[in-house]
Copies of this chain bind each other. A is one copy, B any other.
């Protein structure tokens, strides 16, 4: 019932990149040091975020990463689902053939569906436009 460390790192990395001056890149090394995230693990995370279109990467000596969109256009849900896949609060909301369907009297599935929708809406409302930009 808890966010993976990987997704938490991803949010922190994206937040970090969102505060850089427009156009400025953040390298794996710089983000890793600034946010205290294990370097190799972060490399994997940034790669995944790039693949999913949240970040853009540049190789070479002056390379690194930056957001692919405006900070306010990137949401927590975007980042979390890019890393961990679709958010589901219970097994019965992610599979069709769940225990709820075997029993007519299982009225619990509805509860989880409602919670899930509400939670995902909150994650979708939260974006990276609110963090103070680093000057210069």
Q: Is the CB of A2 within 8 A of B88?
A: yes
- Interface residues on chain A, number (Cβ under 8 Å): 40
Q: Identify A1's interface contact among B4, B36, B108, CB under 8 A.
A: B4
Rounded to whole angstroms, the CA-CA distance of A76 and B118 in the bound complex is 17
- By a CB distance below 8 angstroms, the chain B residues around A70 are none
Question: Bound state CA distance, A66 and B106, in angstroms?
Answer: 19
Contact check, A90 vs B3: say whether CB atoms are below 8 A apart.
Answer: yes
Contact A2 B115 (CB under 8 A): no
Q: Are A89 and B131 in contact (CB under 8 A)?
A: no
| Chain-B contact segment, one of A5-13, A22-30, A46-54, A55-63 | A5-13
Whether a CB of chain B sits under 8 angstroms from the CB of A33 is no
CA distance A36 to B30 in the complex (A): 52
Nearest CB in chain B: distance from A57 CB, A: 23
A97 at the interface (CB under 8 A from B): no
Residue A92 CB within 8 A of the other chain: yes
CB distance from A98 to the nearest CB of B (A): 9
A105 touches which of B19, B112, B119, B126 (Cβ 8 Å): B19
Nearest B residue to A90 by beta-carbon distance? B3
Determine if A69 is an interface residue (Cβ-Cβ < 8 Å): no
